[in-house]
Structure 1
């Protein structure tokens, strides 16, 4: 049977939302139009794609398999459109994925300052960033070394800071604080697999330190807000705000930092252009990062 891209788009929308009405809103069409397309697909293929339940539309095993294929087809179609637009109109546009802190502090300001041909940024958990390259993303910026099958570039090391509303007796402003010093203190940091959490815990385990944190947050910005309200000191990479002071986190004389990497598919149709964007980003990032850990 033949299926057009519109039918596949409607099918994927229903699978995503679990609802014909939500899919119709997403696709800007009427509910009957969605229902007709799904019914036609099921009739022509002679299979059930969805189970209609009280909780909504649920994919059958056949529907789940079709969703994988349909998503891949739609991604390839979008990419083909981008290729042709680039070739004949000279207007390349790229989609980037990164953790939220990275796109707020680095990627979005980079676009504003340089006019880089990036049209959208997708916020992803650090563990999922590189997987997006198989889901329509052109450039991924992550906080762990990319898989070896990807082209990549190391961008910058951004220092981890301890931030507090008032300078405590165990720290000096703009100075160094050893990891052992913060053990047992009221410390707040971004968790949920964040690069700050991963780096701090790895070094603590290596030294046999028992670090108990008073709280973890979804973002460094939230950790800063809690620190400013007097609930502890924040471990973050974001520049200090809310009148917070800062010191740099060290471990046995070595400054702790989060390393950012850019990665892209080696066979991307515009791999050289993406590499150029990554290099420009690496050159621009130090201008944005205004703090540097002291040398001990």
Structure 2
């Protein structure tokens, strides 16, 4: 018994007439009659009673009709779901994330995606940076949100947002009373950093740009731990602007007064040859988000391009007459 036979059977059961069923199916009556006879022979039961007025279902036929209608409905639903997944409108999407990327910006991106694609199940996987690329290549995640900027030939990288750096410090710290903290005044402060090489490099560069070597405290496992240690008064730490959306008791954030523009980038990356419609749909949301949170000149940056997840840029100098160079 196959779907074609079930469709033939349902047509006859609904019309109770071979001729009308054949017309509905765009068949001649003899082939339809043979199909019904073959189905009855295969099942070993009589499905219809022939009467002068047409076809009447037997108890076995009534039972088969209920099941056949359920099966046809399930098949139609399966086809529709497959089509929706193929169009990026439904299914499951596994996303990797680590560290401060989970705060502020990524939830906004995922919330916007969910609003547009409510039938897509989003599953987040939190893992440290070294585990993200293997997860990507093994198909356990389709896309990763990270601060790092991988340079792998099979990985495509897109900028999600560029955030200003802030100073995270205890609310009881002497500098917490200031509206803006001059980086040069951090000369004697213990600097808390995570284990990320890019964060450490950024801290060194920023401090050196202001004429001093940072006093590094014991490294924290990640930026969240560094922020919690700062709240305890064990040092200060540089954090991306989106950390202000997270309330840690005892910590406060202050903008930086700096000789250079200091920032931290959020990227997403994925396998270059991944043709998933669900991934494509998420990337559409990411790109729409990027137009609001990234400088125009950076919106198309890809893997292998110059740049890093954190960085410094000299501020423009004013020329006479107020021009900027």
Question: If the length of structure 2 is used for normalisation, what is the TM-score?
Answer: 0.51
**1:40 maps to what in 2?**
none
User: Which of these residues, 260, 265, 272, is aligned with residue 266 of structure 1?
Assistant: 272
Q: Does residue 161 in structure 1 map to residue 166 in structure 2?
A: yes
Distance of aligned partners of 1:207 and 1:177 in 2 relative to their CA distance in 1, 3 Å threshold: closer
Matches within 5 A, 1:31-42: none
> Unpaired segments of 5 or more residues in structure 1?
1-81, 287-294
Distance of aligned partners of 1:284 and 1:219 in 2 relative to their CA distance in 1, 3 Å threshold: farther
Measured against aligned partners, the alpha-carbon deviations of 1:141-194 in whole angstroms (never above 9, x if no partner) come to 222334354333211112222123135259722x2422x4323313323x2116
Cα RMSD over matched residues?
A: 3.6
Q: CA offset at residue 90 of structure 1?
A: 5.0
Distance of aligned partners of 1:230 and 1:284 in 2 relative to their CA distance in 1, 3 Å threshold: same
Larger radius of gyration: 2
Q: Larger relative CO (CA 8 A, sep 6+): 1 or 2?
A: 2
Hey, what's the Cα distance between the residues in 2 that align with 1:207 and 1:232? 18
Hey, what's the Cα distance between the residues in 1 that align with 2:252 and 2:196? 25
Q: Is the 8 A contact 2:155 2:269 kept in 1?
A: yes
Q: CA offset at residue 243 of structure 1?
A: 5.0
**1:106 maps to what in 2?**
105
**1:150 maps to what in 2?**
155
**2:239 maps to what in 1?**
236
Q: CA offset at residue 110 of structure 1?
A: 3.4
Q: Does residue 139 in structure 1 map to residue 143 in structure 2?
A: yes
Distance of aligned partners of 1:107 and 1:272 in 2 relative to their CA distance in 1, 3 Å threshold: same
Distance of aligned partners of 1:272 and 1:88 in 2 relative to their CA distance in 1, 3 Å threshold: closer
Measured against aligned partners, the alpha-carbon deviations of 1:225-260 in whole angstroms (never above 9, x if no partner) come to 332233332332221632533223465x22322111
Q: Is the 8 A contact 1:94 1:120 kept in 2?
A: yes
Question: If the length of structure 1 is used for normalisation, what is the TM-score?
Answer: 0.55
Aligned residues: 203
Measured against aligned partners, the alpha-carbon deviations of 1:48-93 in whole angstroms (never above 9, x if no partner) come to xxxxxxxxxxxxxxxxxxxxxxxxxxxxxxxxxx988823995232
Aligned to 1:217, the other structure's residue is in SS state coil
Q: Is the 8 A contact 1:130 1:263 kept in 2?
A: no
